[in-house]
């Protein structure tokens, strides 16, 4: 059976005490294990020159873009506002280049949390820099201190969407974000919403690309939640 090579966009930890102050390239181990247990071969793609993105995408069959820091609002034409958190422009530029290359080459994409937000921006959408900017905010979207293995809020899922085939039309998910999609890109179709009507899932609307994206963190509870495990299996083996 073919083993899909799954490129996982890496993150960077600066000034690691464990390595005498040197930086570390990493990805959360849960993504590696979820991809492996679904039958894929995970390959972490380190943050580097965006001009090398095409070469990296040529090495992989599919691209997974995970969570992390806030995204520089200059990417969607806004100045940073007071509640914006830590941003990493080098990561923004490299991951945007990875996504553009994956879209151009028709590689399937799985976008999670920050990746879900960044792909929307790459395709022309925008974000709420903080949920305090969203007038209908009434759900706790950062569930800390509750652990990620526990789903905490509900989502409604569009009938006949990819997510509905995996989760049915109602589900509970975990949640760790203070930013959210404001304007959805024209090439994307929303497929899941929280009770306060924020977009929690999407897929591509048209074109040759295959996209599935979620605002929650399926890597944190894929062992406890069967539907989250099926999401990784679908991405690795079917999308």
Question: What structural domains does the chain harbor?
Answer: 5-237 (3.40.50.880)
Per-residue pLDDT, 13: 78
Per-residue pLDDT, 22: 64
Q: How many Å apart are CA 223 and CA 220, to the nearest integer?
A: 8
Q: Is 217 a catalytic residue?
A: yes
**Terminal-to-terminal C-alpha distance of the chain:** 16
Q: How far is CA 212 from CA 29, 60, 112, 217, in A?
A: 21, 17, 9, 13
* Residue of 113, 141, 228, 233 marked catalytic: 113
Q: What is the 8-class DSSP label of residue 73?
A: G
Question: What are the backbone angles phi and psi of residue 126, rounded to the nearest 5°?
Answer: -145, 175
Helix or strand holding residue 93 (H, E): helix 89-105
Distance of CA 160 to the CA centre of its chain: 22
Q: How many Å apart are CA 215 and CA 194, to the nearest integer?
A: 10
Q: Is 22 a catalytic residue?
A: no
Query: Which residues neighbour 75 within 8 Å (Cβ) at sequence distance 6 or greater?
Result: 92, 96, 121
Per-residue pLDDT, 216: 98
Q: Is 238 a catalytic residue?
A: no
Q: What is the 8-class DSSP label of residue 39?
A: T
| Ranges of the chain whose pLDDT falls below 50 | 1
* Residue of 95, 200, 219, 228 marked catalytic: 219
Per-residue pLDDT, 1: 46
Sign of CA dihedral 158, 163, 103, 238: negative
Number of CB atoms found within 10 A of residue 82's CB: 7
Query: Which residues neighbour 183 within 8 Å (Cβ) at sequence distance 6 or greater?
Result: 125, 126
Cα R_g (the chain), whole angstroms: 17
The 10s digit of each residue's pLDDT in 81-140 is: 999 999 999 999 999 999 999 999 999 999 999 999 999 999 999 999 999 999 999 999
* Residue of 141, 177, 217, 228 marked catalytic: 217
């Amino acid at each position: 059976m073919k083993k899909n090579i799954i490129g996982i966009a890496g993150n960077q930890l600066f000034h690691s005490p464990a390595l005498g102050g040197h930086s570390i390239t990493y990805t959360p181990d849960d993504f590696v294990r979820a991809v492996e247990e679904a039958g894929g071969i995970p390959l972490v793609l380190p943050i580097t020159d965006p001009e090398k993105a095409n070469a990296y995408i040529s090495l992989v069959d599919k691209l997974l873009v995970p969570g992390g820091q806030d995204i520089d609002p200059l990417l969607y034409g806004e100045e940073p506002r007071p509640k914006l958190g830590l941003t990493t422009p080098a990561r923004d530029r490299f991951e945007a280049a990875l996504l553009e290359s994956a879209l151009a080459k028709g590689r399937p994409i799985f976008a999670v949390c920050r990746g879900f937000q960044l792909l929307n921006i790459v395709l022309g959408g925008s974000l709420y820099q903080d949920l305090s900017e969203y007038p209908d905010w009434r759900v706790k979207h950062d569930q800390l201190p509750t652990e990620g293995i526990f789903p905490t809020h509900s989502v409604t899922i569009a009938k006949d969407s990819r997510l509905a085939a995996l989760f049915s039309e109602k589900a509970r998910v975990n949640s760790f974000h203070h930013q959210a999609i404001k304007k959805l890109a024209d090439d994307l179709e929303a497929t899941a919403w929280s009770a306060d009507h924020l977009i929690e899932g999407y897929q591509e609307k048209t074109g040759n690309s295959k996209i599935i994206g979620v605002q929650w963190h399926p890597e944190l509870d894929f062992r406890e939640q069967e539907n989250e495990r099926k999401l990784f299996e679908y991405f690795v083996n079917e999308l």
